[in-house]
Amino acid sequence: MLIDCDPGLDDAIALLTAAHHANLVGITTVNGNVGIDHTTHNALAVAQVAQLDIPIHRGAERPLVNAPMDAAHVHGPTGLGSVEIPDLVRTVDSHDAVTFILDMARTVDDLHLVPIGPLTNIALALQADPTLPSRLSGITLMGGAAVGGNVTATAEFNVWADPEAAAIVFRHGGPITMVGLDVTHQVLLGADHRDTMRAAGTATSLLAADLLDYAVEGADKIHGWGGAPIHDASAVVAVTHPELFGGEWHPVEVEIDGALTRGMTVVDSRPDASDEATVKVLRNVDADAVIELIVGAVTSPPGD
Ligand code: BDR
Ligand code: CA
């Protein structure tokens, strides 16, 4: 698995989840929840806490067309809530995430790409080498929604932040699994999970508990759900434990023009549209099992 991310509270928990459940071979960063300096710093910090000795490459500092947007109001000014970010003992391997993604696709058998931020790096990689999908086992992304958005009435953050990039990926990225809000809003982690993490007392579980503190408080203010959707971790588990998810194949296009719908993933659910379907839209999830896997991952000893 190669994760392209913009940590981000839930990206950080996704990295910790992948560190335990996946064979994570690299991380690339992108501008998104906060600026690229912060997302890259945060990816390095999380990898350090998780004792992940893998390449980390910095990527795009701005979307293809949009001015950079952020979600610092959700993730905090640094992107990691109120977590005290440790001093870094290492730096990035390069500032060229796109070349790294293309190189890894050439050299790693069955590489699965898991973008959990705006899709800028992936679109640039597809533009540089349109044959990229033929060398991947798949792309599973957190983004979009069949019904309703979270930034606007119709758009989810990762697609909304760089709709032109998302349009390229959905059109040219080959078979894609879309882990959108339809699924991630069903997987809520709350105070009980946070307490379990804190009680485990490991470096990763304490980090995850601090991240969850901020996420749960924020989600309670916005939704009043009593828990926070840790969106990006669900995308990781959708790759490592696909049996926990259900969905159907549909054609999906990204709206880039609409005044009310820019950044919307338009899912064509008409029965006769399925012949052109290239996107598996996940809708059902065994939320308890996914949560158990996430909590189990972050409470395992780092490096395990
Ligand atoms: C997505 O947007 C970001 O704020 C999160 O990290 C997640 O990737 C959810 O819409
Ligand atoms: Ca993210």
Residue 291 falls inside a structural domain: yes
Question: What pLDDT, on the 0 to 100 scale, is given for residue 170?
Answer: 97
Q: What are the structure tokens assigned to 131, written together?
A: 């044959």
Question: What pLDDT, on the 0 to 100 scale, is given for residue 224?
Answer: 86
Report, as residue numbers or ranges, the catalytic residues: 231
Whose CA is closest to atom 2 on ligand 1?
Answer: 157
Question: What pLDDT, on the 0 to 100 scale, is given for residue 30?
Answer: 98
Substitution site in 38, 158, 185, 264 for ligand 1 pocket (most atoms within 8 Å of beta carbon): 158
Question: What pLDDT, on the 0 to 100 scale, is given for residue 226?
Answer: 85
Task: With beta carbons less than 8 A apart as the criterion, state whether 43 and 78 touch.
Answer: no
Q: In whole angstroms, what is the distance from residue 288 CA to residue 193 CA? A: 11
Buried b (16+ CB within 10 A) or exposed e, 74-112: bbbebbbbebebeeeeeebbeebbbebbbebbeebeebb
pLDDT along the chain (304 residues), means of 10: 98 98 98 98 97 97 96 96 93 98 98 98 98 97 97 98 98 94 97 97 97 94 90 98 97 96 96 84 98 98 79
- Residues around ligand 2, an ion, CB closer than 5 A: 6, 8, 11, 116-117, 232
CATH number at residue 275: 3.90.245.10
Residue 304 falls inside a structural domain: no
Task: With beta carbons less than 8 A apart as the criterion, state whether 126 and 105 touch.
Answer: no
Q: In whole angstroms, what is the distance from residue 132 CA to residue 105 CA? A: 7
Question: What pLDDT, on the 0 to 100 scale, is given for residue 302?
Answer: 78
* Domains identified in the chain, total number: 1
Cα of 272 from ligand 2 centre, angstroms: 33
Residue 65 falls inside a structural domain: yes
Domain span at 172: 2-298
Cα of 10 from ligand 1 centre, angstroms: 7
Specify which residues 112 forms β-bridges with.
138
Residue 15 falls inside a structural domain: yes
Q: Based on DSSP, count helices (H) and strands (E) in the chain, helices before strands.
A: 12, 12
Q: Is 78 in the pocket of ligand 1 (CB under 6 A)?
A: no
Q: What ligand is nearest to the CA atom of residue 219?
A: 1
Cα of 231 from ligand 1 centre, angstroms: 6
169, 113, 80, 287: CA torsion to nearest 10: 100
Question: What pLDDT, on the 0 to 100 scale, is given for residue 145?
Answer: 98
Residue with tokens 């003992």: 89
Task: With beta carbons less than 8 A apart as the criterion, state whether 176 and 170 touch.
Answer: yes
Work out the number of other CB atoms within 10 angstroms of the CB of residue 132: 22
Q: In whole angstroms, what is the distance from residue 226 CA to residue 182 CA? A: 18
What are the distances in angstroms from CA 220 to CA 70, 74, 213, 225?
20, 11, 11, 6
Which atom of ligand 1 approaches the CA of 74 most closely? 4
Residue 224 falls inside a structural domain: yes
Largest CA distance in the chain: 55
What are the distances in angstroms from CA 214 to CA 56, 124, 210, 225?
25, 33, 7, 14
Cα of 161 from ligand 1 centre, angstroms: 10
Residue 303 falls inside a structural domain: no
Q: What are the structure tokens assigned to 213, written together?
A: 């503190």
Q: What are the structure tokens assigned to 19, written together?
A: 């560190």
Question: What pLDDT, on the 0 to 100 scale, is given for residue 231?
Answer: 98
Neighbouring residues of 260: CB distance < 8 A, sequence distance ≥ 6:
152, 153, 154
Q: Is 10 in the pocket of ligand 1 (CB under 6 A)?
A: yes
Q: Is 189 in the pocket of ligand 1 (CB under 6 A)?
A: no
